[in-house]
Structure 1
Amino acid sequence: MEEFELENRIKNLMWTVSGDYSLEFKPDLAAFAKSKYVALYDGIKQGAFARYFNREEYSLYLVKKIYLHAMEAPLMDLAQLCIEFAVSGKIIAEREGVSNIRRRACEDILDMDFHKLTGNPAGKLKIALFREILNGKGAAEARQRHFMDMVQELSEAQDTMELIQTTDKLYNELIDPYFERNQGDLEKVLSVTLEELAEFSWEDFLEEEALESTLETYLDKVTENMTNLDTRETETKEEQEKNTEETTKRILVVDEKALEKMYSYVERNYGKTYLTEGEEKKINALVCRGIHSDCSLYFTKGILKEPVMRNYQYEYARKQRSKNLYEYHDNHRVVKNNIRLLTDMLKKTLTMREEKEETLADRGTLLPKRLWRIGRTGNVQVFKRELYEDSSSFVVDVLIDASGSQRSRQGQVAIQAYILSEALSNVGIPHRVTSFCTFWDYTVLHNFRDYDADRTENSNIFEYVTSSNNRDGLAVKAVEYDLLQREEEHKILIVLSDGKPYDVILNRPNARNPKPYHGDYAIKDTGFAVRKLRNQGVCVLGVFAGEEKDLQAEKKIFGKDFAYIRDISGFSPVVGRYLIKQLEKNT
């Protein structure tokens, strides 16, 4: 009963401070046993932080930093200091009594953890800052004062990004000066997507009593710990890297509870599906067979078109669209010129197809000069017919790999696909543009424009964003389903990929296909899907934009109809030549 009352006391304190009685919070009763002031002050800070800042945004940053191999313990120590100074002044200004609780908490931390704190840079910074809380500003060597000033200046912080920027800078300067060089700057950290995090095994980062090795569980743990004042045991960098390496696996283990949430994860991070439940079940039953029988297809117009909420992934997609558009406007003249050249090439070929061809026939326009043949010869073709090739007998599908391996060229891929789509629109050839990636069980197909859509939808291509893995064989089968339903006689599929089908395995209860989808296994499956499509009369071109060492895999998949572009800017010209070849071949 005492524990229950204590937990309620701390929760009520946090809720009162935050003003949000729906806020989830698990009080640290073990900390209370060591120091009631530390436990009470942590509860106050939880409430204050939730009131003044965005808890989810900050904890997500911390997880992304750890995902990119930042050491968890020192990062969390710095986060706790940053939060402490960002919220303490604000809450003390409203509730003077908090000042005394804060001082007593700092005293207890220095008494209990002084020896531990002296063993690492983050701990030494905490000692210096807590001493100034208790004794006022004192002398400090220049380097230490620099870091102290960075933290103390957060008392003026007004938004979460200021906390993130200071935490990141502190970690990179104080803990790991090589982090930015080896792993990337803050922009690289923030660009890590939720699906990449979800596919990482967090098991070794969780407490032993945590039953679920899921991202959600780890996020909860980080959110709880980032406001605590007590000191965590610190790993060496070598120990942390060894643990991280051991937890990176090809097989992702999830339980039934996580599986139930999977669809909502996909919906929140890729946008709502445009199919009805019945349509979704039908296409999954028809396409997800054989080695893909444990997989699912998810069709969407994208998170920016059909968002469930304005979450981090929405903001990231919006930011990437802006980057893609900026790159387009920065190369506007070149893009327009490419569209014009490709349009002219296609128009010329189609015009040749539309030129009339006269032929003798048994019906049509009578030719008087051939009437003498009637009754005198077996050739009774005394009529003339004018034949026209139907330029509308072509339909094109463009399928673009949107896995994480394409991240460095997102803007260029979007521009080249846009050039192709504009040229096809200019000559009236119906076409669809789709990107694909695989997140957990779901191969997500992002439809930018449909076959008969208005040309204004071509600009949707700038919403192209990459993430996660790629199950190429299943993606080809998915677009095949609609392409074969088209009435056009000549059907063309163009696939832009890096020649490396790869999908993490979702090892779930009763899984029928536990074999990892990568290497020869995945290459053979994708190649089989391509050959099957060709046998049904579809022309398939593989456009390779990966590394030269992966060329052989691409050749195995696409055979003779395969093009290697060393630079993504070669995409549109290569595809244009292939289209013209197909148009001329069927003349």
Structure 2
Amino acid sequence: MEIENRIRNLMWTVSGDYALNTRLDVASFSKSKYISMYDAIKQGAFAKYFDTNALSMYIVKKLFYGVEEPVLMNIAQICVDLAVYQKIVEERPGVCNIRRKAFEAMLDKDFRKMNDSFIGRVKLEIIRQFLNGKGTAEKRIQDVLDVLYPLEEASDTMEIIQAVDRIYNFAIDRSFERKHGDLEFVLNTSIEELAEATWQDFLDEEMYESVLEQMVDQVNQQVVSLEEKESAEEKKQDGPKKKSVVVLDEKALEKMNSYMQLNFGKSYLSEAEQKRTDRRLCNGAHADCSLYYTDGILQNPVLINAQYVNAKKQTDRNLLLLRNSKNMVKRNVDIMTHNLKRSLVTRTQQEELLSEYGSIIPSRLWKLGRTEDTKLFRRVIRQNETDFVVDILMDASGSQRDRQSQVALQAFIISEALSNVQIPHRVMSFCTFWDYTVMQRFREYDAPKSENRKILQYTTSSNNRDGLAIRAAADSLLQREEENKILIVLSDGRPNDVVVNRPNSRNPKPYCGDYAVKDTAQEVRKARNKGVYVLGVFAGKEQDLQAEKRIFGKDFAYIKDIRNFSNVVGQYLQKLLDW
């Protein structure tokens, strides 16, 4: 208690904020009082000069995408140290001596551990240059130092975040941005998506924020520590330790269905119907998965929780865009309606031809026996009167979050036009959480036009298991009586489903990369072989274009602007109607 009070007073003195209440690493004092003291000084200085929660929240979000936690944390520690040291030593020159002795203690205790990793060697070089004067290092390390040392002049937390992100992406994992996204994408990760990685903690919480506060607090304490984080390889060598993956116990499994209801709304299927559907559709690559059919949390909530509030806020944003785009929406609906009506009229027109059979034409009977013209009859040819049914399936994973309102508006335009020409259609979205692929229904095939506004409840979160979603949508279409069945899929060409490892339960094979693309392409081919027209509308990044082509073949459309979604779909439908 006495040691903790001394360290806390030191932190308070440096920060000037005696209300600052963060956890302190008292155990490090037994290793070296100077390491413990310098950590407390850094913690106080970091809180004084920067936004600690902003950096910690970035780290939490970055970890969500599967980065190696010890490596990321070690990079963050170095960045924080360089960002605060010059500032605090100008106010308190004695800190220089404390830092020197802390660094010397680290060399005594952790030299071998630091020397075993690249970031550890970067830290060793910084220590060496502080103790012996700046110099040059090997190129790879020098490239990192060139990013780190400018932080001594940093005045904004974003500069620290950018440095951490740049070092990790270009010195540790060069494929990160290609697989997941850039810094802006990471920072835009929503609270709901963070629940994916630690959902077990959230089962007992009505609001996400309380759990996130605990996570952020843990990171706050770690980023100012000098302790070298163990790599995954070192953990293996040291023997079994706490797993970094999420492990679900039996009690948690029992809560899972309740959790789905809390965060995605009640299912409109009975328990028996749900089991029959899973047995019929969840097999092959999706044998360890489940489908969850819902009208959404706003339609069938269990209680007013954070998910409900966030869904309501996004719906309000979607409705605001609709109001602000009223003239554009009306114009697009009218154009699409006109084009579809024209094509439908053409299909139902009748054409009369002279023929050798049919209804006799009395005025032509004089030709009988007098000419070789035997076409004495009138035959009526009816154009193709076959009917149509359409399914619109929208990717609602986190990758779509930047364009949620635009996607909702474009789907609304399509639905309004289809309603005007009385073509039955259904609009659904899909995302995958845990082993559930959530199929959210906005309107059913034969629903009245007034149901179209529910499309504006479209929100995004979590991952996407495209193959299972397409299989489920095609299955519903095949149960319809209409002859021409059309499935339109809006996606980003990146099927990706994070797997959660859990004992005594199902463990789906990781669904990502080439494996996921092949499976999704196979489901598209199966649907087409059964008579379903499938159009893929690609709204992702250009580097994923080849994957989209592999999935949908020649029947896909690439739109760089989501505002062209309704136009592309309208042209495709018109082409099918004109056949």
Normalising by the residue count of structure 1, what TM-score does the alignment of the two structures yield? 0.63
Secondary structure of the equivalent of 2:299? Answer: coil
Identity of aligned residues (%): 50
C-alpha separation between the residues in 1 aligned to 2:542 and 2:251?
42
Asked if the contact 1:252–1:504 (Cα under 8 Å) also holds between the matched residues in 2, the reply is no
Distance in 1 (alpha carbons) for counterparts of 2:225 and 2:218: 20
TM-superposed deviation, 1:550: 0.3
1:399 counterpart SS class:
strand
Contact 1:301/1:446, CA 8 A, preserved across alignment? yes
TM superposition shift of 1:355: 1.9
CA RMSD in angstroms comes to 4.4
Residue 5 of structure 2 aligns with an amino acid whose one-letter code is F
Assess, with a 3 A threshold, how the Cα gap between structure 1 residues 272 and 218 changes in structure 2: closer, same or farther: closer
CA apart distance, 1:256: 2.0
> Following TM superposition, by how much is the alpha carbon of 1:360 offset from its aligned partner in structure 2, in angstroms?
6.0
Is 2:185 the counterpart of 1:198?
A: no
Q: Which residue in 2 is equivalent to 1:385? A: 380
Q: Given the alignment, which residue of 451, 455, 466 partners 2:460?
A: 466
Matched-pair contact (CA < 8 Å) for 1:374–1:380: no
Q: 1:236 aligns with which of 207, 223, 227?
A: 223
Q: Deviations over 1:110-133 (max 9, x none)?
A: x66332114546984553789xxx
Q: Deviations over 1:45-77 (max 9, x none)?
A: xxxxxxxxxxxxxxxxxxxxxxxxxxxxxxxxx
Give the superposition deviation at 1:411. Answer: 0.6
The CA distance in 1 between the partners of 2:411 and 2:528, in whole Å, is: 23
Equivalent-residue separation in structure 2 for 1:225 and 1:445 (angstroms): 27
- Distance in 1 between residues matched to 2:322 and 2:421, nearest whole Å: 22
Distance 2:368 2:299 in 1: 68
CA drift of 1:351 comes to 2.0
> 1:395 deviation in Å?
0.9
Shift of 1:245: 11
Residue equivalent to 1:45: none
Q: Classify the secondary structure of the residue corresponding to 2:534.
A: strand
- Give the alignment partner of residue 178 of structure 1, picking from 157, 162, 168: 157
Q: 1:129 to 1:433 in 2, by over 3 A?
A: closer
- Residue in 1 that maps onto 2:31: none
Aligned partner (choices 554, 560, 570) of residue 566 of structure 1? 560
Change (3 A) 1:473 1:224: closer
Match of residue 115 from structure 1: 6
Contact 1:373 1:380 in 2 (8 A): no
Inter-CA distance 567–250: structure 2 relative to 1 (3 Å threshold): farther
- 1:379 deviates by 7.8
After superposition, give the CA deviation of every residue in 1:437-459 in whole Å (9 maximum; x if it has no partner): 00101100110011110001111
Residues 1:242 and 1:263: Cα distance change in structure 2 (over 3 Å)? farther
Give the corresponding residue for 1:398. Answer: 392
2:471–2:523 CA contact under 8 A, matched in 1: yes
Alpha-carbon offset, residue 329 of structure 1: 1.4
Report the counterpart of residue 485 of structure 2 in structure 1: 491
> What is the distance in 2 between the residues matched to 1:232 and 1:340?
54
Q: Which amino acid in 1 is paired with 2:398?
A: G
Please list the CA deviations of residues 185-234 of structure 1 after superposition, one character each: whole Å capped at 9, or x if unmatched: 9xx789411xx2332159xxxxxxxxxx744479999969989xx99993
2:476 to 473, 479, 482: 482
Secondary structure of the residue aligned to 2:578 is helix
**Cα shift readout 1:467-498 (whole Å, capped 9, x = no counterpart):** 00000000001111110011111111100000
Secondary structure class of the residue paired with 1:506: coil
Q: Is the 8 A contact 1:251 1:504 kept in 2?
A: no
- Whether the 8 Å CA contact 1:358–1:385 is kept in 2: the answer is yes
TM-score scaled to structure 2, two decimals? 0.64
Q: What is the match of residue 16 of structure 1? A: none
Following superposition, the deviation at residue 275 of structure 1 comes to: 1.3
Deviation at 1:580, TM superposition (A): 1.0
**Matched residue, 1:135:** none
Deviation at 1:403, TM superposition (A): 0.1
User: 1:583 and 2:577 equivalent?
Assistant: yes
Aligned to 1:305: 299
Letter paired with 2:318: N
Contact 1:492 1:538 in 2 (8 A): yes
More deviation, 357-366/469-478: 357-366
Q: Which residue of 2 aligns with 1:260?
A: 254
Deviation larger for 381-390 or 286-295? 381-390
Alpha carbons 1:116, 1:123 under 8 Å: kept: no
Give CA-to-partner distance per residue, 1:86-112, whole Å, 9 cap, x none. Answer: xxxxxxxxxxxxxxxxxxxxxxxxx66
1:518-542 Cα offsets, whole Å, 9 max, x none, are 0010000000000011111111100
Describe the superposition over 1:538-585 as per-residue Cα deviations: whole angstroms up to 9, x where unpaired. Answer: 111000000000000000000000110001011111111111111112
**Aligned partners of 1:220, 1:318: CA distance in 2, in Å?**
15
CA distance in 2, matches of 1:515, 1:122: 52
Is this contact kept in 1: 2:496–2:516, CA < 8 A?
A: yes
Q: Does the alignment pair 1:346 with 2:340? A: yes
Find 1:417's aligned residue among 398, 411, 416.
Answer: 411
Alpha-carbon separation, structure 2, partners of 1:538 and 1:434: 17
Contact 1:358/1:384, CA 8 A, preserved across alignment? yes
**1:278 Cα deviation from its structure 2 partner:** 2.0
Shift of residue 343 of structure 1?
A: 1.4
- Cα 1:241–1:490 shift into 2, 3 Å: farther
Per-residue deviation, 1:254: 1.9
SS in 2 for 1:507: coil
Unaligned runs of 5+ in 1: 1-33, 35-110, 131-143, 149-164, 203-212
Q: Are positions 1:520 and 2:517 aligned together?
A: no
> Cα–Cα, structure 1 residues 473 and 372, in superposed 2: closer, same or farther, change >3 Å?
farther
User: 2:434 aligned with 1:440, yes or no?
Assistant: yes
Q: Does residue 326 of structure 2 align to residue 332 of structure 1?
A: yes
Give distance in 2, aligned partners of 1:535 and 1:492: 13
Whether the aligned pair in 1 keeps the contact of 2:390 and 2:485 (CA below 8 Å) is yes
Are the equivalent residues in 2 in contact too, given 1:253–1:508 (CA < 8 A)? yes
Name the SS for the 2:379 alignment partner. strand
- The structure-2 alpha-carbon separation of the partners of 1:271 and 1:223, relative to structure 1 and needing over 3 Å to count, comes to closer
Distance in 1 between the 2:267 and 2:544 partners? 33
**1:401–1:241: structure 2 CA closer, same or farther, 3 Å change rule?**
farther
Aligned counterparts, 1:131-146, within 5 A = none
| Residues 207 and 306, structure 2, Cα contact 8 Å, conserved in 1 | no
In 1, Cα distance between the equivalents of 2:516 and 2:369?
Answer: 66
